[in-house]
């Protein structure tokens, strides 16, 4: 494929979707006639596109089945006309209590709860809040209205109130920040000695990259990245740029972000344009939090051109399996991919 690969991939996709215009169809026809390589790519991508559409249909069928099952359960419930009943966790049959006894119990419990609450805050006076995303991504709103999307396995620490001259938070893992604009109170993300400082913007931070380095990709606005002890050596990022903070050297490398999937963990939108299978696997591991191993080194250089929109890992793997003639095996949380390699 030539340097306009992305353009013609888009034309092919629109052709399959029935959205291509006459002029674009002529361009696509001329491009296909230009070389056997282009025709081969067209046929391969057609196969991949059909597999993706098939997986979408299968997913839709499963969703409809689950919804119908849910509706059936709802319809089977007796119509009492009353609010839903709260089921006690105690498996023993509830005993009949008089209203006075119930009132006494409620009052006693209320006193205990209030007393415990007051004593806790009087003695401990917690100043920080820790939010951890366990198995799934979560979205959290900070005291200033900023919204943080936390990747599964990540942790965010911040004060109960931003009372100082700066809004300081600590991050372990990966998160996407949508910061509320406040020119009088900069927002600072800290990870070790690395700092990301903004007034109000949107950006992605990953502190889980190789060798303890941190990556920052800016979506909108402007950010300043620097090390705690070297604030004057800060590097400014503009939208579409990425900074890699190399901890061992206290060095910051700025470049144009070339990874269209840097936010795939949040959006579940995956775009692979003539990408190596090795890089595809790395992206899938980050997005779906699963261990995926290529058993044959020759598979690493297999090329993948496909896009997925909020599809399950099983659906994505099925497309890769049939497109590249792979074998996929699952053993608990681990997934192995084998095959003969690609020509």
Model pLDDT for residues 229-280, shown as the tens digit of each residue:
989 999 999 999 999 999 888 899 999 999 999 999 999 999 999 999 999 9
| % pLDDT > 90, the chain | 50
Same domain, 229 and 140: yes
Q: How far is CA 22 from CA 28, 107, 233, in A?
A: 10, 77, 53
| Residues 28 and 137 occupy one common structural domain | no
- The neighbouring-strand residues paired with 338 are 327
Q: Of residues 198 and 54, which shows the higher confidence score?
A: 198
Task: Supply φ then ψ for residue 325, to 5 degrees.
Answer: 55, 60
Task: Check residues 63 and 256 and name the one with the higher pLDDT.
Answer: 256
Q: Are residues 240 and 317 in the same domain?
A: no
- Spatial separation of the C-alpha atoms in residues 223 and 35, rounded to whole Å: 45
Average pLDDT over residues 200-213: 83
Element (H, E) at 36: helix 36-76
73 burial type by CB count under 10 A (0-12 exposed, 13-18 middle, 19+ buried): exposed
Do 245 and 276 lie in a common domain?
A: no
Asked if residue 72 belongs to a domain, the reply is no
Weakest mean pLDDT among 147-161, 197-211, 214-228? 197-211
Tell me if 67 is assigned to some domain: no
Shared-domain flag, residues 221 and 296: no
Residue 119 has pLDDT above 90, yes or no: no
Give pLDDT tens digits for 71-109.
Answer: 554 455 444 444 433 333 333 444 444 444 444 554 444
pLDDT at 111 over 80: no
Contact 237, 223 (CB under 8 A): yes
Q: Is the dihedral of CA 133, 138, 143, 146 positive or negative?
A: positive
pLDDT above 70: percentage of residues in the chain: 76
| Cα 218 from Cα 239, distance rounded (Å) | 5
Stronger pLDDT, 91 or 59, i.e. the higher one: 59
CA 81 to CA 241: how far, in whole Å? Answer: 58
- Give the tens place of pLDDT for each residue, 276-311: 999 999 999 999 999 999 998 889 889 999 999 999
Residue 235, SS3 per DSSP: strand
Q: Find residue 71's DSSP bridge partners.
A: none
Does residue 222 belong to any structural domain of this protein? yes
**295 plus 201 within the same structural domain:** no
Residues 243 and 166 reside in one and the same domain: yes
**Cα–Cα distances in angstroms (integers) from residue 275 to residues 6, 38, 283, 323, in the given order:** 12, 16, 11, 14
Residue keyed to tokens 């004060």: 159
286 in a structural domain: yes
Domain count, the chain: 3
Token code pair at residue 27:
């361009």
Residue 163 inside a domain? The answer is yes
Residue 176, domain extent? 133-256
Q: Write down the pLDDT at residue 80.
A: 45
Q: What is the pLDDT of residue 298?
A: 86
**Do 247 and 299 belong to one domain?**
no
Alpha-carbon distance of 341 to 322, in angstroms, equals: 13
Q: Domain check: are 213 and 244 in the same one?
A: yes
- pLDDT at 3 exceeding the cut of 60: no
The mean pLDDT of 103-123, rounded to a whole number, is 46
pLDDT at 142 over 70: yes
Domain boundary among 197, 224, 256: 256
Instruction: Select from 256, 290, 308 the last residue of a domain.
Output: 256
299 and 221 in a single domain? The answer is no
Which pLDDT belongs to residue 120? 44
The predicted structure's pLDDT at residue 75: 53
Q: What is the C-alpha separation between 188 and 171, in angstroms, rounded?
A: 10
Q: Which of 44, 60, 76 is the last residue of a domain?
A: 60
Asked whether the beta carbons of 144 and 162 are under 8 A apart, the reply is yes
Shared domain check, 251 and 280:
no
Query: 3-state class of 158 per DSSP?
Result: strand
Query: What is the predicted pLDDT for the residue at 35?
Result: 84
Residue 103 tokens, joined? 């009132």
For residue 228, tell me if it sits in a domain: yes
CATH of the domain at 303: 3.55.50.30
Same domain, 155 and 211: yes
Phi, psi of 214 (to 5 degrees): -120, 140
Check pLDDT > 50 for residue 116: no
Place 124 in a pLDDT band, splitting at 50, 70 and 90. very low
* Position 189 in a domain: yes
Average pLDDT, the chain: 80
Q: How many CA atoms lie within 13 A of 60 on its CB side?
A: 7
């Amino acid at each position: 494929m030539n340097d306009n690969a992305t353009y013609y991939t888009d034309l092919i996709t629109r052709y399959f979707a029935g959205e291509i215009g006459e002029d674009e169809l002529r361009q696509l026809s001329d491009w296909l006639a230009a070389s056997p390589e282009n025709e081969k790519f067209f046929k391969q991508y057609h196969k991949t596109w059909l597999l993706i559409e098939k997986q979408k249909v299968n997913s839709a069928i499963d969703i409809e089945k689950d919804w119908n099952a849910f509706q059936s359960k709802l319809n089977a419930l007796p119509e009492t006309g009353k609010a839903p009943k709260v089921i006690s966790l105690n498996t023993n049959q509830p005993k009949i209590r008089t209203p006075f006894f119930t009132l006494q119990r409620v009052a006693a419990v209320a006193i205990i709860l209030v007393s415990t609450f007051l004593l806790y805050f009087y003695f401990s006076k917690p100043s920080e809040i820790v939010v951890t995303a366990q198995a799934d991504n979560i979205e959290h709103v900070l005291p200033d209205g900023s919204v943080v999307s936390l990747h599964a396995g990540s942790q965010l620490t911040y004060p109960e109130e931003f009372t100082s001259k700066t809004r300081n938070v600590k991050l372990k893992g990966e998160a996407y920040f949508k910061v509320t604009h406040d020119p009088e109170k900069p927002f600072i993300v800290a990870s070790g000695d690395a700092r990301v400082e903004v007034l109000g913007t949107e950006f992605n931070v990953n502190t889980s990259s190789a060798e303890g380095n941190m990556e920052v990709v800016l979506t909108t606005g402007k950010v300043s990245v620097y090390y705690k002890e070297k604030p004057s050596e800060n590097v400014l990022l503009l939208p579409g740029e990425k900074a890699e903070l190399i901890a061992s050297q206290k060095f910051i490398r700025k470049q144009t972000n070339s990874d269209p999937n840097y936010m795939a963990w949040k959006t579940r939108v995956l775009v692979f344009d003539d990408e190596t299978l090795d890089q595809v696997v790395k992206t899938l591991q980050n997005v779906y939090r699963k261990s995926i191993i290529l058993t044959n080194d020759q598979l690493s250089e297999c090329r993948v051109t496909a896009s997925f929109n909020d599809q399950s890992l099983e659906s994505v793997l099925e497309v890769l399996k049939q497109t590249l003639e792979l074998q996929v095996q699952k053993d608990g949380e681990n997934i192995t991919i084998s095959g003969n390699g690609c020509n």
